[in-house]
Structure 1
Protein backbone atom coordinates (compact mmCIF):
# COMPACT_ATOMS: atom_id res chain seq x y z
CA UNK A 1 0.00 0.00 0.00
CA UNK A 2 2.89 2.34 -0.69
CA UNK A 3 1.19 4.03 -3.63
CA UNK A 4 1.52 7.80 -3.63
CA UNK A 5 -1.09 10.08 -5.15
CA UNK A 6 -0.46 13.40 -6.84
CA UNK A 7 -3.23 15.99 -6.45
CA UNK A 8 -4.73 16.93 -9.79
CA UNK A 9 -4.98 20.71 -9.39
CA UNK A 10 -7.38 22.61 -11.64
CA UNK A 11 -4.76 25.05 -12.90
CA UNK A 12 -6.58 25.45 -16.19
CA UNK A 13 -9.80 26.15 -14.31
CA UNK A 14 -8.06 29.14 -12.80
CA UNK A 15 -7.08 30.51 -16.19
CA UNK A 16 -3.56 29.19 -16.74
CA UNK A 17 -4.08 28.40 -20.41
CA UNK A 18 -1.39 27.36 -22.84
CA UNK A 19 0.59 30.25 -24.27
CA UNK A 20 1.35 28.33 -27.45
CA UNK A 21 -0.22 30.16 -30.38
CA UNK A 22 -3.24 28.27 -31.69
CA UNK A 23 -2.90 25.44 -29.15
CA UNK A 24 -6.18 24.28 -27.63
CA UNK A 25 -6.02 24.16 -23.84
CA UNK A 26 -6.04 20.71 -22.28
CA UNK A 27 -9.05 19.72 -20.19
CA UNK A 28 -8.53 20.05 -16.46
CA UNK A 29 -8.46 16.73 -14.62
CA UNK A 30 -9.47 15.45 -11.20
CA UNK A 31 -8.19 12.33 -9.44
CA UNK A 32 -11.03 10.54 -7.63
CA UNK A 33 -10.60 7.59 -5.27
CA UNK A 34 -12.91 4.56 -5.39
CA UNK A 35 -13.13 1.25 -3.58
CA UNK A 36 -13.33 -2.24 -5.02
CA UNK A 37 -17.05 -2.98 -5.17
CA UNK A 38 -19.25 -4.70 -7.78
CA UNK A 39 -21.61 -1.73 -8.07
CA UNK A 40 -19.13 1.17 -7.96
CA UNK A 41 -19.11 1.32 -11.77
CA UNK A 42 -22.61 2.85 -11.72
CA UNK A 43 -21.42 5.74 -9.58
CA UNK A 44 -18.24 6.17 -11.62
CA UNK A 45 -20.30 6.44 -14.81
CA UNK A 46 -22.54 9.13 -13.29
CA UNK A 47 -19.52 11.12 -12.11
CA UNK A 48 -17.82 10.90 -15.51
CA UNK A 49 -20.93 12.21 -17.23
CA UNK A 50 -21.42 15.08 -14.78
CA UNK A 51 -17.81 16.26 -14.92
CA UNK A 52 -17.73 15.85 -18.69
CA UNK A 53 -20.56 18.39 -18.91
CA UNK A 54 -18.31 20.77 -16.96
CA UNK A 55 -15.37 20.17 -19.29
CA UNK A 56 -13.44 18.24 -16.64
CA UNK A 57 -11.83 14.83 -17.04
CA UNK A 58 -11.95 12.47 -14.05
CA UNK A 59 -9.51 9.67 -13.38
CA UNK A 60 -10.31 6.99 -10.80
CA UNK A 61 -7.80 5.30 -8.52
CA UNK A 62 -8.72 2.31 -6.40
CA UNK A 63 -7.97 2.71 -2.70
CA UNK A 64 -8.71 0.46 0.28
CA UNK A 65 -11.82 1.79 2.01
CA UNK A 66 -10.13 2.67 5.30
CA UNK A 67 -7.34 4.56 3.45
CA UNK A 68 -9.77 6.85 1.63
CA UNK A 69 -10.06 8.98 4.76
CA UNK A 70 -6.29 9.47 4.88
CA UNK A 71 -5.70 10.21 1.20
CA UNK A 72 -8.76 12.47 1.10
CA UNK A 73 -7.86 14.55 4.12
CA UNK A 74 -4.24 14.85 3.01
CA UNK A 75 -5.35 16.12 -0.39
CA UNK A 76 -3.61 13.26 -2.19
CA UNK A 77 -6.78 12.83 -4.22
CA UNK A 78 -9.13 15.54 -5.40
CA UNK A 79 -12.26 13.69 -4.37
CA UNK A 80 -13.86 10.48 -3.16
CA UNK A 81 -16.39 8.80 -5.45
CA UNK A 82 -18.85 7.77 -2.75
CA UNK A 83 -19.09 7.56 1.02
CA UNK A 84 -21.97 7.14 3.46
CA UNK A 85 -22.91 10.46 5.02
CA UNK A 86 -22.55 8.92 8.49
CA UNK A 87 -18.73 8.95 8.13
CA UNK A 88 -18.35 12.53 6.91
CA UNK A 89 -17.14 13.70 10.34
CA UNK A 90 -14.01 11.67 9.53
CA UNK A 91 -13.46 13.80 6.41
CA UNK A 92 -12.81 17.31 7.79
CA UNK A 93 -10.89 18.35 4.65
CA UNK A 94 -13.55 17.08 2.25
CA UNK A 95 -16.84 18.71 1.28
CA UNK A 96 -20.01 16.78 0.49
CA UNK A 97 -21.54 17.22 -2.95
CA UNK A 98 -25.14 17.29 -1.77
CA UNK A 99 -26.61 14.95 -4.37
CA UNK A 100 -27.68 11.49 -3.10
CA UNK A 101 -26.04 9.04 -5.47
CA UNK A 102 -27.60 5.79 -4.41
CA UNK A 103 -29.53 4.27 -1.55
CA UNK A 104 -27.21 1.58 -0.25
CA UNK A 105 -28.21 -1.05 2.29
CA UNK A 106 -26.08 -3.24 4.54
CA UNK A 107 -27.14 -6.88 4.26
CA UNK A 108 -26.24 -10.11 5.99
CA UNK A 109 -24.91 -12.41 3.27
CA UNK A 110 -24.12 -16.08 3.76
CA UNK A 111 -22.42 -18.95 1.99
CA UNK A 112 -24.64 -21.41 0.12
CA UNK A 113 -26.16 -24.25 2.18
CA UNK A 114 -25.85 -22.12 5.35
CA UNK A 115 -28.83 -21.11 7.46
CA UNK A 116 -28.92 -17.39 6.67
CA UNK A 117 -30.87 -15.65 9.42
CA UNK A 118 -30.12 -12.38 11.14
CA UNK A 119 -30.13 -13.76 14.75
CA UNK A 120 -26.60 -15.06 14.04
CA UNK A 121 -25.46 -11.41 14.27
CA UNK A 122 -26.22 -11.58 17.99
CA UNK A 123 -24.52 -14.93 18.56
CA UNK A 124 -21.07 -14.39 20.16
CA UNK A 125 -20.02 -17.84 18.90
CA UNK A 126 -20.36 -16.78 15.27
CA UNK A 127 -17.88 -14.78 13.18
CA UNK A 128 -19.06 -12.22 10.64
CA UNK A 129 -16.74 -10.78 7.99
CA UNK A 130 -16.91 -7.13 6.98
CA UNK A 131 -14.90 -4.43 5.27
CA UNK A 132 -12.21 -3.11 7.60
CA UNK A 133 -12.27 0.39 9.06
CA UNK A 134 -15.00 2.75 10.22
CA UNK A 135 -17.82 2.39 7.71
CA UNK A 136 -21.50 1.56 7.33
CA UNK A 137 -20.85 -2.14 7.93
CA UNK A 138 -19.09 -1.55 11.25
CA UNK A 139 -21.81 0.96 12.15
CA UNK A 140 -24.51 -1.64 11.42
CA UNK A 141 -22.78 -4.13 13.76
CA UNK A 142 -22.06 -1.66 16.56
CA UNK A 143 -24.56 -3.26 18.96
CA UNK A 144 -24.26 -6.82 17.69
CA UNK A 145 -22.52 -9.59 19.62
CA UNK A 146 -21.01 -11.69 16.82
CA UNK A 147 -17.25 -11.63 16.45
CA UNK A 148 -15.86 -9.57 13.56
CA UNK A 149 -13.39 -10.53 10.86
CA UNK A 150 -12.17 -7.45 9.00
CA UNK A 151 -11.20 -7.99 5.36
CA UNK A 152 -9.79 -5.63 2.74
CA UNK A 153 -12.51 -5.46 0.07
CA UNK A 154 -16.07 -6.39 -0.84
CA UNK A 155 -14.63 -8.49 -3.66
CA UNK A 156 -12.58 -10.55 -1.20
CA UNK A 157 -15.62 -11.05 1.03
CA UNK A 158 -17.83 -12.25 -1.83
CA UNK A 159 -15.11 -14.58 -3.13
CA UNK A 160 -14.53 -16.19 0.29
CA UNK A 161 -18.28 -16.71 0.66
CA UNK A 162 -18.49 -18.37 -2.74
CA UNK A 163 -15.74 -20.85 -1.91
CA UNK A 164 -17.14 -21.30 1.63
CA UNK A 165 -14.01 -20.13 3.42
CA UNK A 166 -16.32 -17.95 5.52
CA UNK A 167 -19.98 -18.49 6.37
CA UNK A 168 -21.26 -15.01 7.15
CA UNK A 169 -20.55 -11.41 6.22
CA UNK A 170 -22.21 -8.03 6.02
CA UNK A 171 -21.79 -6.05 2.81
CA UNK A 172 -23.13 -2.78 1.43
CA UNK A 173 -25.29 -3.26 -1.67
CA UNK A 174 -27.85 -1.32 -3.63
CA UNK A 175 -30.73 -3.78 -3.78
CA UNK A 176 -32.21 -2.18 -6.89
CA UNK A 177 -29.01 -3.22 -8.69
CA UNK A 178 -28.64 -6.56 -6.95
CA UNK A 179 -28.54 -8.35 -10.30
CA UNK A 180 -24.97 -7.07 -10.67
CA UNK A 181 -23.91 -9.45 -7.89
CA UNK A 182 -23.12 -12.99 -9.07
CA UNK A 183 -25.10 -14.71 -6.34
CA UNK A 184 -24.57 -18.32 -7.42
CA UNK A 185 -22.84 -19.24 -4.17
CA UNK A 186 -24.24 -16.48 -1.94
CA UNK A 187 -27.46 -15.98 0.00
CA UNK A 188 -28.77 -12.53 0.94
CA UNK A 189 -30.88 -12.19 4.05
CA UNK A 190 -33.80 -9.74 3.96
CA UNK A 191 -34.54 -7.13 5.16
CA UNK A 192 -31.45 -4.92 5.25
CA UNK A 193 -29.57 -4.50 8.52
CA UNK A 194 -28.94 -0.80 7.82
CA UNK A 195 -29.75 1.68 5.05
CA UNK A 196 -28.35 5.09 4.10
CA UNK A 197 -27.50 7.31 1.13
CA UNK A 198 -24.01 7.67 -0.30
CA UNK A 199 -22.57 10.97 -1.53
CA UNK A 200 -19.63 12.22 -3.59
CA UNK A 201 -16.97 14.30 -1.80
CA UNK A 202 -14.48 16.88 -3.08
CA UNK A 203 -11.45 18.33 -1.33
CA UNK A 204 -12.16 21.75 0.15
CA UNK A 205 -9.76 23.41 -2.31
CA UNK A 206 -12.59 22.96 -4.84
CA UNK A 207 -15.25 24.71 -2.76
CA UNK A 208 -16.03 27.07 -5.66
CA UNK A 209 -16.69 24.09 -7.91
CA UNK A 210 -19.28 22.47 -5.63
CA UNK A 211 -22.41 24.34 -6.91
CA UNK A 212 -21.65 23.45 -10.54
CA UNK A 213 -20.98 19.80 -9.70
CA UNK A 214 -24.19 19.59 -7.67
CA UNK A 215 -26.18 21.01 -10.58
CA UNK A 216 -24.81 18.67 -13.24
CA UNK A 217 -24.54 15.59 -11.04
CA UNK A 218 -28.13 16.05 -9.91
CA UNK A 219 -29.28 15.99 -13.55
CA UNK A 220 -27.19 12.92 -14.36
CA UNK A 221 -28.33 10.95 -11.31
CA UNK A 222 -32.00 11.68 -12.01
CA UNK A 223 -31.61 10.58 -15.62
CA UNK A 224 -29.64 7.45 -14.67
CA UNK A 225 -32.16 6.41 -12.03
CA UNK A 226 -35.01 6.96 -14.44
CA UNK A 227 -33.31 4.89 -17.13
CA UNK A 228 -32.53 2.05 -14.71
CA UNK A 229 -36.15 2.08 -13.49
CA UNK A 230 -37.37 1.75 -17.11
CA UNK A 231 -35.17 -1.31 -17.56
CA UNK A 232 -36.64 -3.17 -14.57
Structure 2
Protein backbone atom coordinates (compact mmCIF):
# COMPACT_ATOMS: atom_id res chain seq x y z
CA UNK A 1 0.00 0.00 0.00
CA UNK A 2 1.36 3.39 -0.96
CA UNK A 3 1.70 5.97 1.79
CA UNK A 4 -0.31 9.14 1.31
CA UNK A 5 1.61 11.57 -0.86
CA UNK A 6 2.88 14.71 0.84
CA UNK A 7 2.50 17.97 -1.05
CA UNK A 8 5.94 19.31 -1.95
CA UNK A 9 7.94 17.13 0.42
CA UNK A 10 11.36 18.75 0.89
CA UNK A 11 14.49 16.73 0.11
CA UNK A 12 16.96 16.93 2.95
CA UNK A 13 20.00 17.33 0.75
CA UNK A 14 18.94 20.31 -1.36
CA UNK A 15 15.56 21.44 -0.01
CA UNK A 16 13.95 21.09 -3.46
CA UNK A 17 10.29 20.05 -3.42
CA UNK A 18 9.54 16.54 -4.68
CA UNK A 19 6.43 15.02 -6.21
CA UNK A 20 5.56 11.32 -6.23
CA UNK A 21 4.53 10.16 -9.72
CA UNK A 22 3.18 6.70 -10.54
CA UNK A 23 4.34 4.80 -13.63
CA UNK A 24 3.71 1.38 -15.14
CA UNK A 25 6.29 -1.18 -16.19
CA UNK A 26 6.55 -0.69 -19.94
CA UNK A 27 9.47 -0.84 -22.38
CA UNK A 28 9.01 2.81 -23.41
CA UNK A 29 7.97 4.52 -20.16
CA UNK A 30 11.55 5.72 -19.55
CA UNK A 31 11.16 8.14 -22.48
CA UNK A 32 8.19 9.81 -20.80
CA UNK A 33 9.84 9.82 -17.37
CA UNK A 34 12.81 11.65 -18.87
CA UNK A 35 10.61 14.37 -20.39
CA UNK A 36 8.68 14.82 -17.14
CA UNK A 37 11.85 15.05 -15.05
CA UNK A 38 13.27 17.71 -17.37
CA UNK A 39 10.08 19.78 -17.34
CA UNK A 40 9.67 19.74 -13.57
CA UNK A 41 13.37 20.45 -13.08
CA UNK A 42 12.83 23.75 -14.90
CA UNK A 43 10.29 24.56 -12.17
CA UNK A 44 12.71 23.60 -9.38
CA UNK A 45 10.77 20.42 -8.58
CA UNK A 46 12.19 16.89 -8.37
CA UNK A 47 10.16 13.82 -9.24
CA UNK A 48 10.18 10.41 -7.60
CA UNK A 49 8.67 7.64 -9.74
CA UNK A 50 6.93 4.65 -8.21
CA UNK A 51 5.88 1.62 -10.26
CA UNK A 52 2.19 0.74 -9.92
CA UNK A 53 0.03 -1.81 -11.74
CA UNK A 54 -1.84 -0.10 -14.57
CA UNK A 55 -5.35 -0.65 -13.19
CA UNK A 56 -4.26 0.38 -9.68
CA UNK A 57 -3.07 3.77 -10.97
CA UNK A 58 -6.70 4.88 -11.10
CA UNK A 59 -7.11 4.05 -7.39
CA UNK A 60 -3.92 5.66 -6.08
CA UNK A 61 -4.44 8.69 -8.33
CA UNK A 62 -8.02 9.40 -7.29
CA UNK A 63 -7.22 8.78 -3.62
CA UNK A 64 -4.33 11.24 -3.78
CA UNK A 65 -1.79 8.60 -2.72
CA UNK A 66 0.42 9.90 -5.54
CA UNK A 67 0.82 13.46 -6.76
CA UNK A 68 0.47 12.51 -10.41
CA UNK A 69 0.41 9.77 -13.04
CA UNK A 70 3.20 9.75 -15.60
CA UNK A 71 1.05 8.87 -18.60
CA UNK A 72 -2.41 7.61 -19.49
CA UNK A 73 -4.40 7.45 -22.71
CA UNK A 74 -6.89 10.30 -23.03
CA UNK A 75 -9.75 7.80 -23.47
CA UNK A 76 -9.55 6.81 -19.77
CA UNK A 77 -9.69 10.30 -18.23
CA UNK A 78 -13.31 9.79 -17.14
CA UNK A 79 -11.91 7.20 -14.73
CA UNK A 80 -9.71 9.91 -13.15
CA UNK A 81 -12.20 12.41 -11.65
CA UNK A 82 -9.67 13.64 -9.06
CA UNK A 83 -6.87 14.13 -11.60
CA UNK A 84 -6.18 16.97 -14.03
CA UNK A 85 -4.83 16.37 -17.53
CA UNK A 86 -1.68 18.28 -18.40
CA UNK A 87 -2.76 19.19 -21.91
CA UNK A 88 0.50 18.37 -23.71
CA UNK A 89 0.56 15.14 -25.78
CA UNK A 90 3.60 13.14 -24.66
CA UNK A 91 3.61 10.38 -27.22
CA UNK A 92 1.44 8.99 -29.99
CA UNK A 93 0.96 5.36 -29.03
CA UNK A 94 -0.52 2.63 -31.17
CA UNK A 95 -2.04 -0.71 -30.20
CA UNK A 96 -0.56 -3.57 -32.24
CA UNK A 97 -1.21 -7.26 -32.64
CA UNK A 98 2.03 -8.95 -31.54
CA UNK A 99 2.61 -12.64 -32.18
CA UNK A 100 5.00 -15.41 -31.18
CA UNK A 101 7.69 -16.04 -33.78
CA UNK A 102 6.15 -19.30 -35.05
CA UNK A 103 2.54 -18.06 -35.30
CA UNK A 104 0.66 -16.79 -38.34
CA UNK A 105 0.50 -13.08 -37.53
CA UNK A 106 -2.56 -11.73 -39.32
CA UNK A 107 -5.20 -9.43 -37.88
CA UNK A 108 -8.07 -11.72 -38.98
CA UNK A 109 -7.14 -13.80 -35.93
CA UNK A 110 -8.77 -11.11 -33.75
CA UNK A 111 -12.18 -12.19 -35.07
CA UNK A 112 -11.62 -15.90 -34.44
CA UNK A 113 -13.49 -16.93 -31.24
CA UNK A 114 -11.45 -20.14 -30.98
CA UNK A 115 -8.19 -18.19 -30.42
CA UNK A 116 -6.93 -16.35 -27.33
CA UNK A 117 -5.15 -13.01 -27.12
CA UNK A 118 -3.23 -11.69 -24.12
CA UNK A 119 -3.61 -8.09 -23.00
CA UNK A 120 -3.07 -5.87 -20.00
CA UNK A 121 -5.96 -6.21 -17.56
CA UNK A 122 -8.50 -3.45 -16.88
CA UNK A 123 -10.14 -0.73 -18.94
CA UNK A 124 -7.41 0.57 -21.21
CA UNK A 125 -6.49 1.21 -24.84
CA UNK A 126 -5.91 -2.50 -25.47
CA UNK A 127 -9.37 -3.55 -24.24
CA UNK A 128 -10.89 -0.60 -26.14
CA UNK A 129 -9.17 -1.71 -29.36
CA UNK A 130 -10.71 -5.19 -28.95
CA UNK A 131 -14.21 -4.01 -28.02
CA UNK A 132 -15.79 -5.29 -31.26
CA UNK A 133 -13.51 -8.32 -31.75
CA UNK A 134 -14.57 -11.94 -31.17
CA UNK A 135 -11.26 -13.41 -29.96
CA UNK A 136 -11.12 -14.68 -26.36
CA UNK A 137 -9.11 -12.49 -23.98
CA UNK A 138 -6.57 -13.42 -21.33
CA UNK A 139 -5.96 -10.46 -18.99
CA UNK A 140 -2.42 -10.29 -17.62
CA UNK A 141 -0.73 -8.04 -15.09
CA UNK A 142 2.09 -6.37 -17.04
CA UNK A 143 3.61 -5.75 -20.46
CA UNK A 144 6.71 -7.62 -19.28
CA UNK A 145 4.65 -10.73 -18.49
CA UNK A 146 2.98 -10.59 -21.91
CA UNK A 147 6.31 -10.27 -23.73
CA UNK A 148 7.80 -13.15 -21.74
CA UNK A 149 4.88 -15.48 -22.49
CA UNK A 150 5.14 -14.64 -26.20
CA UNK A 151 8.87 -15.31 -26.23
CA UNK A 152 8.35 -18.64 -24.45
CA UNK A 153 5.53 -19.44 -26.93
CA UNK A 154 3.11 -20.05 -24.05
CA UNK A 155 1.01 -17.32 -25.65
CA UNK A 156 0.57 -17.06 -29.42
CA UNK A 157 -1.09 -13.65 -29.65
CA UNK A 158 -1.22 -10.41 -27.68
CA UNK A 159 -2.13 -6.76 -28.14
CA UNK A 160 0.37 -4.22 -26.85
CA UNK A 161 0.51 -0.42 -26.74
CA UNK A 162 3.74 0.78 -28.37
CA UNK A 163 5.22 3.86 -29.95
CA UNK A 164 6.26 2.51 -33.34
CA UNK A 165 9.23 4.89 -33.70
CA UNK A 166 10.68 3.33 -30.54
CA UNK A 167 9.55 -0.22 -31.22
CA UNK A 168 13.17 -1.39 -31.17
CA UNK A 169 12.99 -1.02 -27.38
CA UNK A 170 11.31 -4.42 -27.25
CA UNK A 171 13.17 -7.56 -28.32
CA UNK A 172 11.46 -7.87 -31.71
CA UNK A 173 13.81 -10.69 -32.83
CA UNK A 174 11.59 -13.26 -31.10
CA UNK A 175 8.30 -11.55 -31.98
CA UNK A 176 6.22 -10.55 -34.97
CA UNK A 177 4.33 -7.24 -35.11
CA UNK A 178 1.36 -6.99 -37.46
CA UNK A 179 0.91 -3.73 -39.37
CA UNK A 180 -0.97 -1.42 -39.40
CA UNK A 181 -1.91 -0.60 -35.81
CA UNK A 182 -5.41 -1.58 -34.72
CA UNK A 183 -5.86 1.58 -32.60
CA UNK A 184 -4.00 4.85 -32.05
CA UNK A 185 -4.26 7.56 -29.38
CA UNK A 186 -2.12 10.09 -27.53
CA UNK A 187 -0.98 9.79 -23.92
CA UNK A 188 -0.95 12.60 -21.38
CA UNK A 189 0.47 13.33 -17.95
CA UNK A 190 -1.99 13.79 -15.07
CA UNK A 191 -1.67 15.78 -11.82
CA UNK A 192 -3.84 15.49 -8.73
CA UNK A 193 -6.44 18.25 -8.48
CA UNK A 194 -4.71 19.70 -5.40
CA UNK A 195 -2.10 21.02 -7.85
CA UNK A 196 -4.58 22.98 -9.98
CA UNK A 197 -2.58 26.15 -9.33
CA UNK A 198 0.59 24.54 -10.64
CA UNK A 199 -1.01 23.21 -13.83
CA UNK A 200 -0.32 26.22 -16.15
CA UNK A 201 3.39 26.23 -15.23
CA UNK A 202 3.70 22.48 -15.74
CA UNK A 203 1.97 22.68 -19.12
CA UNK A 204 4.30 25.48 -20.26
CA UNK A 205 7.46 23.69 -19.10
CA UNK A 206 6.40 20.30 -20.48
CA UNK A 207 5.39 21.76 -23.85
CA UNK A 208 8.86 23.30 -24.20
CA UNK A 209 10.57 19.99 -23.40
CA UNK A 210 8.37 18.00 -25.79
CA UNK A 211 8.76 20.56 -28.60
CA UNK A 212 12.55 20.61 -28.16
CA UNK A 213 12.89 16.81 -28.16
CA UNK A 214 12.67 14.51 -31.22
CA UNK A 215 9.09 13.59 -32.00
CA UNK A 216 8.10 10.31 -30.30
CA UNK A 217 5.51 8.99 -32.74
Shorter-normalised TM-score: what interval?
over 0.9
- Deviation by residue 1:90-130 (Cα, 9 ceiling, x = unmatched): 00000000000000000000000110000110000000000
- Find the partner of 1:52 among 15, 29, 41: 41
In the alignment, the residues of structure 2 paired with residue 64 and residue 28 of structure 1 have an alpha-carbon distance, to the nearest angstrom, of: 26
TM-score normalised per structure 1 = 0.90
1:146-175 residue CA offsets vs partner (Å, 9 max, x unmatched): 000000000110111011010000000000
Q: Give the Cα–Cα distance (whole angstroms) in 2 for the partners of residues 213 and 184 of structure 1.
A: 39
Which 5+ residue runs of structure 1 have no aligned equivalent?
13-22
2:6 pairs with one of 5, 8, 32: 8
CA distance in 1, matches of 2:191, 2:211: 20
Asked if 1:159 is matched to 2:157, the reply is no
Match of 1:190 in 2: 179
Displacement after TM superposition at 1:225 (Å): 2.0
CA distance 1:7–1:146, shift in 2 (3 Å) = same
Answering whether residue 61 of structure 2 is matched by residue 63 of structure 1, we say no
Picking from 121, 137, 142, the partner of 2:126 is 137
The corresponding residue for 1:225 is 214
Residues 1:105 and 2:103 are matched in the alignment: no
Counterpart of 1:17? none
- Of 85, 108, 132, the residue aligned with 2:74 is 85
CA contact (8 A) 2:9 2:19 kept: no
The whole-number CA distance in structure 2 between the counterparts of 1:48 and 1:92 is: 24
Deviations 1:76-103 (A, max 9, x none): 0000000000000000000000000000
Task: Please give the alpha-carbon distance, in whole angstroms, between the structure 2 residues aligned to 1:11 and 1:105.
Answer: 36
Q: Which residue of 1 aligns with 2:157?
A: 168
The question of whether the paired residues in 1 share the 8 Å contact of 2:35 and 2:210 is answered with yes
Aligned length: 216
Q: Matches of 1:200 and 1:24 in 2, distance apart?
A: 27
Cα drift, residue 11 of structure 1: 6.3
Q: Structure 1: how far apart are the matches of 2:30 and 2:194?
A: 26
Looking at CA atoms only, which structure, 1 or 2, has the larger radius of gyration? 1
> Partner residue of 2:193?
204
Cα RMSD (Å): 1.6
Q: Deviations over 1:26-60 (max 9, x none)?
A: 11110000000000000000000000000001000
